[in-house]
Amino acid sequence: PTKLRVSQALSGAELGSNIKVQGWVRSVRAQKANVFLHVNDGSSLQSLQVVASSELSDPLLTFGSAVEVTGILKKSPHQKQPVELDAKQINVVGECNPSDMALSIFANFLISGAEQMLLDNGFVEINTPIITSNDCEGAGELFQVEPSGPDYADGENFFSVPAYLTVSGQLHLEVVSGAFSKVYTFGPTFRAENSQSRRHLAEFYMVEAEISFTQSLEDLTKVMEDMFRFATEHVLAHCVEDVDLFHKHVTPGHREYLVSFLRITYREAIDILRRSSERFAFPTDWGCDLKTEHEKYLVKHCGNIPVFVTDYPYDLKPFYARDNQDHPERTAAAVDLLVPGVGELCGGSLREERLNLLSARLEEAGLEDVYSWYLDLRRFGSVPHGGFGLGFERYLQCILGVDNIKDVVPFPRFSHSCLL
Ligand code: 4AD
Ligand code: MG
């Protein structure tokens, strides 16, 4: 056979001759007797239609796979294309797992659903910086940013202060929420957690929202629940085929996420854990952080639906969380959303808007100078406000029922792994 580029084949110059084309499958349509492919090799925007009898079909012949097709170039009976290739032989030279494709399309619809809900409700999208000097979560799990190259050979610091890849856009959102009232961001965040768990990445995406004039955790959890529900319905409406592809992994009751969510306090969560006969690896005393095993147990206990856990011990939450001064135990107005299969999907809180309380807490931590600009937000036009962050890869994990977070992103980053 004569080897031809797809553009040459499409020009019809070799009609009637035995040719071979190499390219990638752009569509596959199987009928009873025949299978129809469109093959593109980058030489033309158009694809070459290939008609093959069903015996030549192959389960590896999927969208994106690389193929070599040999056959006779013929005039096409259809008006849309001038020629078609009557295949005598098809070799799949490179496989392409279609579920990767399905996943990316699914991810697209999930985020567009979440963003549509926010935009419909008057949120303004803000791009928060990726390089920052703050450690919003105060956990010290930062990647430091250093310049490299001949100008910086003597270790000079580019920004004059230590700079890091952001762990959260929250503090920047708090600044702009003072002008726009309702803001959100969708972007990458980075954490140097030395964890090999099935729900941690070193680089992950977050949808973060911040809302001025938020007076209570009820106000906040309503937005979280509405966003989850809208985005989930949106993706299920648009991606049924992609969801079906995952069905063998998907937890059967995934549509139950659309029922009303449950709310319990941290105190109630601790009581449930302490009453259970389950043997946990980590302690369940008041004041202990909830671990993955606890979160998964709580979700199951509550009927495998999303659960808000509210009012965590004050000392467990970062400096920005609002003090619940009227509670008998010292708690903060913070909330986590726990979901089936994953545990924590969102973290949020009311922010401490009272200058005296916030400055006392920052002083205690020795951070009042670093965060003097943050205290200024409480000096000039301070309002009750709150917000949350939703881990996008965990959202995919939860809806698709994927066990390991590394399987929902094309290029996962985690400790000892930064290929490509
Ligand atoms: O609970 P986190 O740390 O909350 C914040 O960063 C807040 N500043 C957000 C805000 O209020 N604007 O993180 C939020 C969510 C978690 O609930 C989790 O879903 C996800 O981000 N997350 C991770 N996802 C993957 N890998 C990691 N290492 C993650 N760390 C947090
Ligand atoms: Mg959290």
CATH of the domain at 162: 3.30.930.10
pLDDT tens per residue across span 217-232: 999 999 999 999 999 9
The pTM for the full model equals 0.83
Residues 58 and 190 reside in one and the same domain: no
Residues 285 and 360 reside in one and the same domain: yes
* pLDDT range class, residue 276, cuts 50, 70, 90: very high
pLDDT tens per residue across span 98-134: 767 778 888 999 999 999 999 999 999 999 999 999 9
Q: Examine residue 294 and state whether it is found in any structural domain, yes or no.
A: yes
Contact 341, 295 (CB under 8 A): no
Give residue 309's domain range.
99-407
pLDDT tens per residue across span 30-57: 888 999 999 999 998 889 999 999 999 8
pLDDT over 70 percentage in the chain: 96
DSSP H or E run through 29: strand 18-30
Contact 125, 185 (CB under 8 A): yes
Q: Examine residue 162 and state whether it is found in any structural domain, yes or no.
A: yes
Residues 38 and 156 reside in one and the same domain: no
| Mean pLDDT for the chain overall | 92
Instruction: Count CB atoms within 10 A of the CB of residue 363.
Output: 11
The predicted pLDDT at position 104 comes to: 86
Structural domain ending residue among the three candidates 69, 96, 123: 96
Residues 71 and 176 reside in one and the same domain: no
The predicted pLDDT at position 102 comes to: 77
Nearest to 305 by CA among 273, 245, 264: 264
Residue by residue, DSSP assigns 235-249 as HHHH-HHHHHHTTTT
Residue whose CA is at the smallest distance from ligand 1 atom 28: 200
Residues 143 and 192 reside in one and the same domain: yes
Residues 159 and 21 reside in one and the same domain: no
Q: Examine residue 366 and state whether it is found in any structural domain, yes or no.
A: yes
The predicted pLDDT at position 401 comes to: 82
Instruction: Count CB atoms within 10 A of the CB of residue 392.
Output: 23
Q: Is the pLDDT of residue 254 over 60?
A: no
Quote the CA–CA distance of 240 and 408 in Å, as a whole number: 17
Residues 180 and 65 reside in one and the same domain: no
Residues 104 and 16 reside in one and the same domain: no
Q: What CATH number has the domain bearing residue 32? A: 2.40.50.140
Q: Examine residue 414 and state whether it is found in any structural domain, yes or no.
A: no
Q: Examine residue 226 and state whether it is found in any structural domain, yes or no.
A: yes
262 DSSP 8-state letter: E
The closest-lying atom of ligand 1 relative to the alpha carbon of residue 395 is 19
Count structural domains, the chain: 2
Structural domain ending residue among the three candidates 72, 96, 120: 96
The predicted pLDDT at position 252 comes to: 45
388 lines ligand 1 (CB under 6 A): yes
Residues 354 and 299 reside in one and the same domain: yes
Q: Examine residue 73 and state whether it is found in any structural domain, yes or no.
A: yes
pLDDT tens per residue across span 370-381: 999 999 999 999
415 phi/psi in degrees, rounded to 5: -60, 135
123 lines ligand 1 (CB under 6 A): no
Average pLDDT rounded to a whole number, residues 184-209: 95
* pLDDT range class, residue 270, cuts 50, 70, 90: very high
Q: Is the pLDDT of residue 19 over 80?
A: yes
Q: How far is the CA of 191 from the centre of ligand 2 (A)?
A: 12
Structural domain ending residue among the three candidates 96, 111, 128: 96
The predicted pLDDT at position 253 comes to: 44
The predicted pLDDT at position 247 comes to: 59
Ligand with an atom nearest the CA of residue 190: 1
Q: How far is the CA of 271 from the centre of ligand 1 (A)?
A: 25
346 lines ligand 1 (CB under 6 A): yes
Q: Examine residue 12 and state whether it is found in any structural domain, yes or no.
A: yes
DSSP H or E run through 124: strand 124-125
Question: Which carries the bigger pLDDT value, residue 420 or residue 136?
Answer: 136
The 3-state DSSP class for residue 222 equals helix
395 lines ligand 1 (CB under 6 A): no
pLDDT tens per residue across span 54-103: 999 888 898 889 999 999 999 998 887 889 999 999 999 999 877 677 78
The closest-lying atom of ligand 1 relative to the alpha carbon of residue 337 is 17
Question: Which carries the bigger pLDDT value, residue 402 or residue 345?
Answer: 345
Q: Is the pLDDT of residue 326 over 90?
A: no
208 lines ligand 1 (CB under 6 A): yes
Residues 293 and 161 reside in one and the same domain: yes
Residues 151 and 80 reside in one and the same domain: no
387 lines ligand 1 (CB under 6 A): yes
200 lines ligand 1 (CB under 6 A): yes
Quote the CA–CA distance of 418 and 420 in Å, as a whole number: 7
Q: How far is the CA of 347 from the centre of ligand 1 (A)?
A: 6
343 lines ligand 1 (CB under 6 A): no
Q: Is the pLDDT of residue 360 over 80?
A: yes
Residues 129 and 252 reside in one and the same domain: yes
Q: Examine residue 412 and state whether it is found in any structural domain, yes or no.
A: no
pLDDT over 90 percentage in the chain: 76
